[in-house]
Structure formats: structure tokens, C-alpha cells
A and B are shown apart, each in its own frame.
Chain A
Amino acid sequence: MKTNENNFEPHIIAFMCNWCSYTGADLAGVSRLKSPPNIRVIRVMCSGRVDPSFVLRAFQLGADGVLIAGCHPGDCHYQEGNFKALRRTVLLRKMLRQFGVEPERVRLEWISASEAERSRDVTTQFTEQIRQLGPLRLAVGPQPVAV
């Protein structure tokens, strides 16, 4: 909910993999850990499912930051999907810089299924970071509609 410049609440989309990071975030919820409400989670089976175009689409639709969370290297439920997410994210951030978007607005994190506290810490910290960076406002004019 955007009110005015001084009270900016970031919109953050988090792509979380089903087996590790989503479960870790779920555990954080079950454990009643205070997480910021700015994070909106999209569950995918693996962080390797995340197409860089989803990130751009998220920014286009009004997101201020995108978090991609997957299993720790070596622990991917599908063996290596998180490595593919890593490669794509590195290239994506380079590309975003060329668009004039701060690469810090896209973050890749490894969160395991039992790391509830880490999930809370990452989401809290990322929200603060985006709050400092300010709103993105990538799309100017009428909002795009669904594909």
C-alpha cells in the first residue's frame, strides 16, 4: 500500500522454492517469528524455475524488490536447480544495471527448510534495504494487464 513518499512501504515479491525456502518461511510462521508483511510469496517447485523474465515482469507490475530463495548449494531437492538460479541471477543483475535499475533490488538467498530464523532475518533485512533504496516506479503510464 503506497501512501506518500515519506511513508514508503516496499512491495517485494519473493520466489521461494517449495522444498527448502518456502518450508523455512512456513516454519517461521508456525514459530510465530515476526516477519515484515511487505513480502509477497510466489511458491515454485525449485528456484531453477525462476525465469529472469518473471523478475522483469514483477518490476514492470510495480514491485520494488524481488527475492529469489532456494536451497543451499548441494542440497537442492532437484540436485542442481539452485545453481541454475545462481547463474541466471548473476546475468540478470548485470542486465538490470544497464536498464538503470539498482542490482540490489534483486537478491538471491539460500534458506533451508529448518532455518526459520534466517528466513525472518533475510526478509526483514531485504525490506529495510528496499525501503532505503526507495520506490522503483519502473512502469510509467497505465498499468499493464495480464498476458
Chain B
Amino acid sequence: MISLTIDGVTTQVQEGTSILQAAKLLDIKIPTLCYHPLLRPFGACRMCLVQLERKAGYELVTSCNTPAGDGMVVISNSQHVLDARRLVLELLLARWPNVPVLRKMAEEVGLTQVRFPSANRDEAEDACILCLRCVRICEEVVGACAIGYEDRGTQRRVVTPFNQESEACIACGACAHVCPTHHMKFEGEDYRGKPAEFLLGPNTAVYMPTAQGVPKVPSIDREACIHFKTGACLTCEAACEPGAINHEMQDEEIEVDVGQVLVATGYDVFDPTPMAQYGYGRLDNIYTGLELERMLNSTGPTGGRVLLKNGKPPRAVAIVHCIGSRDENYHRYCSRVCCMYALKFAHLIKERTEAEVYNFYIDIRAFGKGYEEFYSRVLDEGANVIRGKVAEVVQAGWSKREEGTLLVRCEDTLIGRFREIPVDMVVLCNAIEPRRDVAQVARLFGLSRSPDGFFLERHPKLDPVATTTDGLFVAGCAQGPKDIPDVVAQASAAAARMLATISKGVVEIDPVRAEINEDLCSGCRTCIPLCPYSAISYLEDKKVSQVNSTLCKGCGTCVAACPSSSITGYGFSDEQIDAELVGLLSL
């Protein structure tokens, strides 16, 4: 242990501790720019200068990279130190006068005037102040070494190798995180002309799917996380003040005993790529409903503005209804929600841009409360609604001036003509589909599905939330496409049904079940492995089998298999079926 004195306070620290770290332990504030707790001290910015008492006078040293020595006496706030700080800041501000972090530090030391001119003056607020934290973190913590610095003196710059896109960059965002001036910015990769946010999947190791998600909590993608590859980094753990990150967390499998299940597994959206005539994935500026929804969101990639890939607002937008819905080739059903959101898009696009809006529909399904009134309003706002299918979307433009324009070729059935309408952007209202794993979920729970693939309700009119299995309920788009008010109503209904069963306190047993006559049973146990609910057990003492009437569902398989006919299937006994046969065949 080393003993040193800072500002009159003596303390003991471990060997190897820097003066800056010792000061931190004493809550003494020393300003820094190029220092970062995750990085080796660099001593570049000179802001952390302190006065170190020597035998004959004093010395100004950088506290970040000067190790504490036994018996040292340090003053962090003497006049010499303050003068030095002021001068350092003056020099920094001479070159970068508008950077907020420098201006704030200047205020703190009472610096108001900069006396020096600079040949390399940069007025930007986000100028690079050459603290090199980005370069150092990329090398020391991340281990990718994707950026570096070149040249010397006033010509020093942070660059990528050969000034080209760095292949070593793993897009972790560490550089952007430690940059004090936001000169280093982290932007999602461009994919098919769309910002990464449209991909609705992780693109960095620590991510939040959307900024408005509930719960608003990030998660770590194991595949992308550097720590799981090299054992290093842990930048996120260091950055997290409440210490909420734990890389050692493992998946937990929790078994919960329940009596009822509500299956509300939602939907997937139809991928319009196979419909080559609409150009999705091939041409620029063609989006699905969800993608445009993301664009219109204020936390989205454009901040809520409607923009083309080239950054300009569109002059005309086509919104095409029924993509994959009401279609013999894909889904015959109607997806129910698209007409209303298509009208919503028309309304918002007209509100936020000067663009002409064209809606191409088969029917306008405005079925709910206030929906038809909204449709009238959108018509009054000047949206052009055209009744007819779009045959294809092609790249148009006879001249360089029109490059990028799309041409929508369609049929306008109300005027009986074919039309070609030039637009800048096309929105495809794609169908709601059952989830990709719906077959597995159905197997797991024993759910039936209707021909369109959604889960089957017990009765389409009289029991839309229950299924044929007691205690198993279905709600939301898992049962069929519907919009939010209907989902809420259905989910409330299902929850109420489940609560009713629970609050009853007892479970009613179906009278249709099997019972074994002890006197007739031979104890052969043929029935036991046949029961899918393991409802039959063998009584060792009586040497006969017995049916547990709460587990028995009454399928009758054991009744059919019993060699001694000692099992009675109530409601469907051998005698009853025989009587039916006699009756039916006596005519």
C-alpha cells in the first residue's frame, strides 16, 4: 500500500494506482478529455494536470498516467494548476471553438476569451478533438483494430485503413459511445436501400428492437457479442451504472403447473418478394405496410419524415391494397386491417408531404366505429382512390431527369380504362398470415386449425374464444386477422372465461368417461398403455386396473380394446352402440 496526500487529504492506495484514480477515490474532481476508465491512460489532452510537490519547487504532471508514489504530495487546485488548465483549454478552443464539452470546461475554469488564432480552426460542433478514445477502445477493448490515426502534429487524423470502408469494423458502436463530441456516429447498415431498423432484428450485440418497445429494456445477442467470442470487452457492463448487465446469465427453463392456457401467438406478415410484378426487393422505394409504419414513427430511421432512398420527399405515393390477400394464388381470405391502415397512410402522407396519394383497392372495408367517417375525411383531404388491381410496378423514366420514378400500371374499373401512374414510392399492404410455426404450436397443444391455417375456434359465432379442448383458449390474430379493438375484446373474453373457471373452485367432470368393473377385470393391463392421458393405473393389491375419472377424457379407446369387456364407456357403451346399429339397419 502507498500513502499519498492530495489537497491535504492523506490516503492509502494500492500500488499501480494513478494519481487520477486516487483523486477519484477521494471524490476530488480533476477534468479529463482523453481519459476513459476502460482504456489505458494516454496523456494526450493534458487536462488532468496536477501540481506535484518536489524537493525544490513543483512539477505539473498528467495525473492520468502518473502512478501514485509513496509520500507524494499533490495539489489539484492550485493557481499553477488552474492557470495550466486555462491555457490548455484556450489552445483547444482556438482550434475547436464550438465543441460543447470544451465550452463547458471553459466555463468551469472561468475562461472567457481565446487569444490565439489557429490555422486549423474547425467551427463544427461535432469536430474531432483527437482524444483518440475511439481508436484506443477499438484496439484495447474490442480487439478489432478497425480504425487508427495517421500523420503527425496538427495534421493528425483519425482514419480507416487506406481511407476505405474498414473491413475489420464489427459495427459494435464502441467508438461512438466513447466519443466526447459525437463526431463518431453509429448508424445502422443499409440493406436493400433500407435502414437497418426495418430489419426488425438485432444489428448490434446490445440492442433494443425499437425505442418505444415495452418493456424498454435492451438485450444481448450472443452471436454478435464480442465477450462471448474473446472473453474481453464488457463495455456495456462498464457503462451500465446500475450494474444491470450480467453476461453469465443462462437460459432458465421454468416448469409451471397450470390448468388453462390461452394461446395468443399472433401472426406473421406475407413476404411480397414472390410477387415479382410489384418489384419488392428489386426496385428502390417499395415498402410493405410495416416498413412504412416504421418510417412514419418518430423514433424510426427518418425521425418520422416520409423520404425516398435519396433523402428527398416523394412527389407521389401509391398504396396498393390486398397484396397476398383475397388472392387465389396466395390467401383467399381478407386480412381485415389493411384498408384502414392504408387510409391512415394516405392521411399521414398528405399531412407530412406535398405528395399525391393513390390508393388502389378492390373494396374499401371500413367496417368499424368511425371508420367510414375517416374514409370520407381522407377522400376530402384529396387522396385519389382507384378501384382496380395493380398489374405491375415498373421502373419508368425516358430521360435522366425521371430516373428513379416508378410507374404503376393498373386498371381503373370505375372509368373502365387502363392507367399508368408515375409515382416515387409504392407501399404494399401485405397480408396477415398464420405464424410460421403454427403447425408445431398446434401439435403441442392439440389445437385444430381452419383451412386458412389459423387456429380453430369452438364455434365461429357462439364461441369465438374457446377451442374444442376444455381449458384451452385462443385469442387475437392467432385465431384470424383482426384489428386492435377486436383483439382486445377477444382477449378480455378469453381471460374472463378462464377466470370464471378458476373462481368456480371446482372442475366439473364430463359424464362421458370410462369406468372399469372390478369384478370383470382380469388385470391383463391391455388398456393401460393405450390411454393417452395415463388415466388408468393398476392396483397391485386387488390385481385389477382402475380409471382415474378426473384424468379420463372419455375417448373410449380402452373400452374398445378390453378383451373381457369390463370397461364401460358411459354414453357410448357397447350396448348403446349395438342398439343404434340395430335401429339404423332395421329400416
Please list the residues of chain A having a beta carbon within 8 angstroms of any beta carbon in chain B. Answer: 1, 11, 13, 19-20, 40, 42, 44-46, 48-51, 54, 57-58, 61-63, 71, 74-75, 77-81, 84, 88, 112-115, 143, 145-147
Contact = CB atoms under 8 A, between A and B. Distances in A.
Interface in B485-540: 512, 530, 532-533
A45 B575 contact: no
A84 B530 contact: yes
Contact of A61 (B556, B575, B582): B582
A13 B581 CA distance: 8
B566 interface: no
A46 B578 contact: no
Given A78-B532, A112-B448, A114-B451, A84 B581 contact: no
Interface stretch (B256-264, B475-483, B557-565): B557-565
Given A20-B448, A79-B446, A79-B532, A48 B581 contact: no
B555 interface: yes
| Max chain A Cβ within 10 angstroms of own Cβ: one of B448, B532, B560, B578 | B560
Contacts of B586: 61, 143
| Max chain B Cβ within 10 angstroms of own Cβ: one of A49, A71, A77, A80 | A49
Contact of B448 (A40, A63, A113): A113
Kindly list the 6 A-B residue pairs having the minimum CB-CB distance in the complex, ordered from nearest.
A49-B556, A78-B555, A79-B532, A48-B557, A46-B555, A61-B585
B469 A114 contact: no
Nearest to A112: B448
Contacts of A58: 581, 585
Interface in B426-478: 442-443, 446, 448, 450-451, 456, 468-469
A143 B575 CA distance: 18
A96 to B, nearest CB: 17
5 contacts: A42-B581, A45-B555, A45-B571, A61-B585, A78-B553
B166 to A, nearest CB: 52
| Max chain B Cβ within 10 angstroms of own Cβ: one of A1, A11, A79 | A79
Contact of A49 (B443, B446, B468, B560): B560
A38 B446 CA distance: 33
Given A57-B578, A113-B468, 12 more contacts: A19-B448, A20-B448, A42-B581, A45-B512, A48-B557, A49-B569, A51-B560, A77-B468, A78-B532, A80-B532, A81-B557, A147-B578
B150 interface: no
B587 interface: yes
A17 B555 CA distance: 9
Interface of B: 442-443, 446, 448, 450-451, 456, 468-469, 512, 530, 532-533, 553-557, 559-561, 569, 571-572, 574-575, 577-582, 584-587
A60 to B, nearest CB: 9
A1 to B, nearest CB: 7
A69 to B, nearest CB: 15
A13 B532 CA distance: 27
Contacts of B569: 45, 49
A42 B556 contact: no
Nearest to A40: B584
Given A46-B557, A49-B556, A1 B587 contact: yes
B450 to A, nearest CB: 5
A71 B469 CA distance: 14
A44 B556 CA distance: 8
Nearest to A55: B581
A97 B559 CA distance: 26
Nearest to B452: A114
Given A77-B446, A77-B469, A84-B530, A48 B555 contact: yes
A128 B587 CA distance: 20
A141 to B, nearest CB: 16
A91 B554 CA distance: 24
Contacts of B577: 42, 44, 54
Contacts of B584: 13, 40, 42
Contacts of A88: 560
B270 to A, nearest CB: 21
Contact of B581 (A19, A54, A112, A114): A54
A143 B581 CA distance: 13
A54 B446 CA distance: 28
